Amino acid sequence: MNANVRPTPLILRGRTFDAGRPAVMAVINRTPDSFYAPARQFAEASVEKSVRLALGDGADIIDIGGVKAGYGEVVSTREELRRVVGAVEWIRGEFPDVIISVDTWRAEVARQVAGAGADVINDTWGGYEPRIRTIAAEHGLGLVCSHAGGLAPRTDPHRVSYGQTTTGVLDDVLKSLGRAARDAADAGVPRTRILLDPTLDFGKNTRHGLTLLRHASRLTELGYPVLMALSRKDFVGETLGLDDPRERLEGTLAATAVAAWQGASVFRTHDVKATRRVVDMVASIRGDRPPDVSIRGLA
């Protein structure tokens, strides 16, 4: 693991996130069927309460999602818009300076949330609708470039393979995300607003996820801000033998620390306060963030 890799700064809404100030992205799921039950904020009142709590706990970015990632009820574009546009409008009106991300693969949803005040499109399905890049560029938005192994949205991996070598998945992710980032830049998205997400669990098994975490500095070396969405995922559960996502906090935080040490600088999480403390502590150990207080031994 390489702690000497310097993260490329992410710049959004006049704020800079880098090695000394990693960004914490709070998950707000406007879905009734999220895999992690405490993250189901389907009702408007629940969304508002969760956003206030996340910001109070130290979130830098609010990530709104209107469709469960895996199998579940069919959610039309119209229904997804109903779930997310109003939430974006409310957050922008209530918290004018907060950074808002929307988790969607649909270009039409991206276009409408851009008009509602979003700052980032979190395209978790690897450019399934390529027009999303142009929309992000036209509206001055950040764009998350993800690796889903070529799977269609809401598809779970089945016997997925990246060749016979132990680092085959890493090679594929580096190649795919490098190309996606260049495509986004060619479309007009500034380099400091292009985020790379290896997207663990999407198109990958648990061993793939562990390999990518082990070599996270290779992603940082591509020269774009790296986002890690690790929170309570199946790779954590399978590694530790924990079926219940409610039991996966410690494993998630261990993975977060490893990724932060290697230069990832944006962390999507259900647990804002704990994640904030972990990434700040890692930044201080790396020497990129001074302690809040340093009086021990001086009195």
| Residue 237 pLDDT | 98
Residue (of 196, 164, 213) closest to 266 by Cα position: 196
Look at residue 36 in the predicted model and tell me its pLDDT: 81
Q: Which domains, ranges and CATH numbers included, belong to the chain?
A: 10-286 (3.20.20.20)
Three-state helix/strand/coil letters over the chain: CCCCCCCCCEEECCEEECCCCCEEEEEEECCCCCCCHHHECCCHHHHHHHHHHHHHCCCCEEEEECCCCCCCCCCCHHHHHHHHHHHHHHHHHHCCCCEEEEECCCHHHHHHHHHHCCCEEEECCCCCCCHHHHHHHHCCCEEEEECCCCCCCCCCCCCCCCCCCCCHHHHHHHHHHHHHHHHHHHHCCCHHHEEEECCCCCCCCHHHHHHHHHCHHHHHCCCCCEEEECCCCHHHHHHHCCCCHHHCHHHHHHHHHHHHHCCCCEEEECCHHHHHHHHHHHHHHHCCCCCCCCCCCCC
- Give pLDDT, residue 39: 77
CA distance 233 to 274: 16
Per-residue pLDDT at 167: 87
Q: What is the largest CA-CA distance in the chain?
A: 63
Determine the pLDDT at residue 248: 98
Instruction: Report the DSSP pairing between strands 194-197 and 266-269.
Output: unpaired
- Active-site amino acid positions: 233, 268
pLDDT at 164: 78
Say if CB 280 and CB 258 are below 8 A apart: no
Q: What is the pLDDT of residue 73?
A: 87
In this structure, how many other beta carbons lie within 10 angstroms of the beta carbon of residue 3? 15
pLDDT at position 211 is 97
What is the reported pLDDT for 7? Answer: 87
Prediction pTM value: 0.95
Task: Walk along the chain (299 residues) in steps of 10 and give the mean pLDDT of each run.
Answer: 83 95 96 82 86 97 94 92 97 97 98 98 96 97 96 90 88 98 98 97 96 97 97 98 97 98 97 98 96 91
